[in-house]
Each structure stands twice: as C-alpha cells, then as structure tokens.
Amino acid sequence: MNKEIAKKSAKRQKLEGTTTLRCIECAEDDPRVIELHHVYGRNNSEMTVPLCKNCHFKVTREQNKLPRSIRSSTTSREDNIRFILVSVGALLENTGKQLRMIGLEVDLL
C-alpha cells in the first residue's frame, strides 16, 4: 500500500466517520484506531499495512526485540534479512492466533 495514498484515505475516512481500512490482524475498522505499520521497518521500505493500535503494538514489540543496529538503514544484508523475517513472522504469528481462535469457535455441521 502506498503510504501517501493510505494516509490521505485514512484522514478522509476519519473526517467522514467511514472506513474501508481494516486491521489485517483482527479486522478492527474503527478509523480512530487504525495505524499504518511499516512491514519491513521505516528505514527499509515504504510498504505499509493497516493495523489497529493493539496489533500494531504487538508487532512492533517483536521488531524492537532486535538490537537497534539491526533495525538501522545501514545494516548488513544479512541483518536486514533477519529483521524482515522477524517482522513478517510477527504478523503471521498474530494472524495464526486469530485463525486458531476462529477455528475453535466455528460450529461445524
């Protein structure tokens, strides 16, 4: 998602009280709590995804477990790959938890 387009869209939606952006983790759609998360870190990519404040905190907390030097824009290729793996892994972990919860709640025929 292009950062500038997403920001303008989110701002317009907040003013109008409508939203098409949803948290990709939990499907929250309240525009007051939707934030744009840099999937590969602000220093590495402009690619963002919408997350609610709670999910954004959880994913960012996992990213921040890595040393600041690894999250830097001047890090080595190997460390950059480590950061990307942790970032995507954190997103997938939260998605997996949501899917497991849904699966346990589904009442099959």
Residue 1 pLDDT greater than 80, yes or no: no
**Tens-place pLDDT, residues 19-61:** 578 898 888 988 889 999 988 877 777 888 999 999 999 999 9
Whether the CB-CB separation of 24 and 94 falls below 8 Å is answered with: no
**The model's pTM:** 0.69
